[in-house]
Amino acid sequence: MSTKSIASEFARRRKDLMAMLEPNSIAIVATAEEKIRSRDTHFAFRPDSDFYYLSGFAEPGAVLALVPGREHGEFVMFVRDKDREKEIWDGYREGPEGVMANYGADDAFPISDIDEILPGLMEGRERLYYSLGRDPEFDRQIMSWLNALRAKERSGAIPPGEFLDLDHYLHDLRLFKSSAEAKLMRTAGKISAQAHVRAMQMAKPGVYEYQLQAEIEHEFAKNGAHYPAYSSIVGSGANGCILHYIENTQKMQDGDLVLIDAGCEYQMYAADITRTFPVNGKFTEPQKQVYNVVLEAQFAAIEATKPGNHWNAPHEAAVRVITQGLVNLGLLEGDVDELIEQTAYRDFYMHRTGHWLGMDVHDVGDYKVAGDWRVLEPGMCLTIEPGIYIAPDNQNVAEQWRGIGIRIEDDVLVTSDGCEILTADVPKTVVDIEALMAQ
């Protein structure tokens, strides 16, 4: 996108949010804090997703306020002031003038002046929209401003009388992706797919899990995605049965599968892909049988991902296929409907089939509305990720099945007539995976 179109995208988001707020209100959003990694070193800074969604501003130490109807401008920013000495050490700062010139702020002030200025913006507003509980320190600051205004009520100060949760409104906006957001997510999906292809090509017995992780994350960075969207999972053998395995320290063995769950973050938007494949490039017969059940379940879940179906429809479709497959393989016994009712499949499939995806890998948005599963609509983006995990110490199944862990995951965008798979560029059938690894 051009600079002008980017600016208009953020301006539209602010306008849409302010249109949802009650009259005579103010909304306040702070960015994330810098986090210490060890002693005097910090983790790479990432702005709070809500804050960035509304501003496009990626520096730490910033707060935004939306004040609908304010005479001197509705979009107010508090940012770090210009400081030549600190910029020499830590990098360029926009300063108040920069955020007005480059980020569309109507008014901007040094963050050091927030205690003097922001309470004045709150005064006279009937309602305060804020996400309480995310940052305890900033919560206390908000409450101190409110209490200071309340203490001056006899002198004529009018503090906000209602305190409303901003998440309910803002997160509903974020749930529906614009065309600009969908474009970024397609790019994130393509880069992540290339990384998974590279991992398949580099895998062989004797390679360590962390070496495949390095190949994947190098591919991310090479293509403009500076960071993974989450800690990459590279679990070979029995490690594939550990859902959030991130140690990635084991040497991969001939005959084992390796489960890779990894996705990049591209311009603040996440991808999330899982593929499971044989370390030596050839599935064993038991591995192939379990794999094809999971793949069939994923196809069924993707088919159920369309407007008008509710959020749980893809999960229900996957559960039915997996339960039937487990019966066919002899891993469960009984009537499929009864087994589903008893959730017998949870010994082998213990997580749900997906989650919302966007700026956060487990993105915001309600899954239920008024107690009912939310209906899928165009613009929603979610993962589809069924799996089967047979614990290595499960004595209730034949030895040939033990230690097989398989998950297959893609990112899908709900469209007007179905869904678009954003991560389709990485193989997932047995034939295609074995052909790629044989090259």
Q: Which residues are the active-site residues?
A: 40, 244, 261, 272, 351, 355, 362, 385, 389, 407, 409
135, 140, 172, 160: which is closest to 60 by C-alpha?
Answer: 135
Residue 126 to residues 27, 49, 62, 173, Cα–Cα distance (Å) = 11, 27, 24, 23
The angle subtended at Cα 98 by Cα 96 and Cα 102, nearest 5°, is 130
Token digits for 306?
Answer: 């369309």
Q: Is the dihedral of CA 203, 205, 207, 210 positive or negative?
A: positive
| Single-letter code of the amino acid located at 425 | D
185 exposed, middle or buried (CB, 10 Å; 0-12, 13-18, 19+)? Answer: buried
- Rounded CA-CA distance 342/336 in Å is 10
SS (H, E, C) 388-430: EECCCCCCCCCHHHCCCEEECEEEEEECCCCEEECCCCCCCCH
